[in-house]
Amino acid sequence: MRKSADVVIIGGGSLGCSVAYNLAKKGYKNIVLLERKYLSSGSTGRCGAGIRQMWGTEMNCLISRGSAEMFKTLGEETGFGDIEFRQSGYLLTTYDPKQTERLKKNLLIQHKLGIPSHMITPQEAKEIVPFVNTDGMDAAFFCQEDGHINPFKTTFAFAKGAQDLGVEIIRYNPVTDIKYNGRKITSVVTEQGEILTDTVVNAAGAWCKNVGKMVGLSHPVEPERHQILITEPLESSMGPMVMSFAHDSYIQQVPHGGFLMGYGNPNEPKRINFNHGWEFLEQMAQKAVFQLPILKDVRFVRQWAGHYEISPDGQPILGPVPELDNYIMALGCGKGFMLSPMIGKLIAEKMAGEETSLPIDILSIERFAKGELIVETGVV
């Protein structure tokens, strides 16, 4: 392990690896990325593997739109190979006219920013997914350019790109402390030793608060457990991710053939909890069999749990903090994986002192103190 680094990135998920790759592309030479376990072991590797652009705030739309473009070339650009990006669409269903009205308003923002989403009738939804149950369905929203991507392969593509450009990635090495003096960071302490540095990127996802505490800061981000199950592989029969606001759930058939489905109970206490439970199975199975009745005879083979990092407004927290120099936040807040290419690029631009491709200062942590929140209501 290097004794000193120009930048230390904490977190080996898609965001940390993307920041590492994008900084290395900018010419940063001495970057160390620290991961407490293995790459993608936190939220990235446990997510629903969806790529969605149908959001309700301009920044979420813009970052996801830019990321969808970058995903197209990431595998080739890094020499990793196929990362299973499939623009097979998202089908958002609503069972409540009020919810429909809210999502209709989001369409205006999406269309202004070039996202090809549209509202459809339940009958039209059936043309896209013939076995979807339309009982009680009020309307649906569809965007063909949303879809699926393999979170593991994506993370490893970023990691390969970064390593090929000289980034050192250290696995199974938790950060135990960050030393600082006044506004200046001096080193990062890990289980395997100390690294002298004045620049730290917090891409620790569900653990971001713990990292913040090491520099005396309190980050307003709470981990919310989500559970997922996957079925045995079947012949490809469903293109889009079927997401229901009424059921708080998402279901998609991944390229491997299994139907992956998940949801999180928002009433659970907010904490890191990787246990999976029987209650989830029963509720998820009911949600799935209601929405897609043919799944009743399909066997599920595996279940697991991971976390959304919930920020007060459902938007990422990006960039420097007012209290400390060169402490950079790179938190996707519930959708970091699907936003990872663009967030990595924006953070690298910001750190290099360049003009950023999107106005990320509005996503600074300072917005919470100032009360300048633009709330994303479309998180499922």
Partner 1 sequence: MDEKNIYLCRCENFTLKELHDLLDSGITSMEEIKRLSRGTMGPCQGKTCRDLIAKEIAIYLNKSMSEIDMPTYRAPVKPIKLGEIAGGDKNA
Q: Is 93 helix (H, G, I), strand (E, B) or coil?
A: strand
Query: What CA–CA distance (Å, rounded) separates 252 from 45?
Result: 16
Q: Which residue, 4 or 237, has its beta carbon nearer to partner 1?
A: 237
Binding string, residues 230-249; x marks residues near partner 1 by CB under 8 A:
-xx-----------------
Task: Give 201: exposed, middle or buried? Use CB within 10 Å, 0-12, 13-18, 19+.
Answer: buried
* Residue 243 or 288 with smaller CB distance to partner 1: 288
User: Does the protein bind partner 1 through residue 131 (CB under 8 A)?
Assistant: no
Selected range binding partner 1 among 65-73, 110-118, 237-245, 276-284, rule: CB under 8 A = 276-284
- Report how far Cα 8 is from the mean position of its chain's Cα atoms: 21
Question: Considering the complex, what minimum distance in angstroms separates the CB of residue 303 from partner 1?
Answer: 6
Q: Give residue 240's Cα distance to chain centre.
A: 18
| Nearest distance in Å: CB 284, partner 1 | 8
* Site for partner 1, residues 189 to 208, rule: CB under 8 A: none
For residue 149, what are the CA distances in angstroms to 49, 66, 244, 258? 6, 15, 20, 14
**Interface of this chain with partner 1, residues 163 to 182, rule: CB under 8 A:** 163, 171-172
Nearer to partner 1, 84 or 349 (CB): 84
Q: Contact between 289 and partner 1 (CB under 8 A)? A: yes
- What Å distances lie between residue 215 and 10, 113, 181, 270, CA to CA? 13, 38, 10, 22
Cβ proximity to partner 1: between 153 and 209 the closer is: 153
Q: Please identify, using beta-carbon distances, which residue of 297 and 355 lies nearer to partner 1.
A: 297
CA-nearest of 180, 151, 136 to 14 is 151
Q: From the CB of 27, what's the least distance to partner 1, in Å?
A: 23
Kindly state the smallest distance separating residue 106's Cβ from partner 1, in Å.
31
Binding segment (CB under 8 A) for partner 1, from list 96-104, 218-226, 288-296, 307-315: 288-296
Minimum CB distance to partner 1, residue 296 (Å): 3
Map the footprint of partner 1 across residues 250-269, applying CB under 8 A: 256
Instruction: Check binding of 83 to partner 1 (CB under 8 A).
Output: no
Examine residue 153 and tell whether it contacts partner 1 (CB under 8 A).
yes
- Minimum CB–partner distance for residue 278 and partner 1 (Å): 9
Tokens of 199: 């620049």
Is 142 or 156 the residue whose CB approaches partner 1 more closely? 156
Q: Which residues of 177-199 are buried (b: 16+ CB within 10 A; e: fewer)?
A: ebebeeeebebbebeeebbebbb
Indicate whether 227 belongs to the interface with partner 1 (CB under 8 A): no
Q: Residue 306 Cβ, how far from partner 1 at the closest point, in Å?
A: 13
Handedness of CA 207, 155, 148, 61 (dihedral sign): positive
Residue 362's SS3 state is helix
Length of the chain measured in residues = 380
Residue 281 binds partner 1 (CB under 8 A): yes
Phi, psi of 152 (to 5 degrees): -65, -50
Sorted by sequence, the CB contacts under 8 Å of residue 332 that are 6+ apart come out as 15, 205, 309, 316, 339, 340, 343
Cβ pair 258, 298 in contact under 8 A: no
Element of type H or E holding 74: helix 58-78
Number of residues interacting with partner 1: please give it, by CB under 8 A. 32
Residues in contact with partner 1 by the rule CB under 8 A: 37-41, 45, 152-153, 156, 163, 171-172, 231-232, 256, 276, 281-282, 285-286, 288-289, 295-304
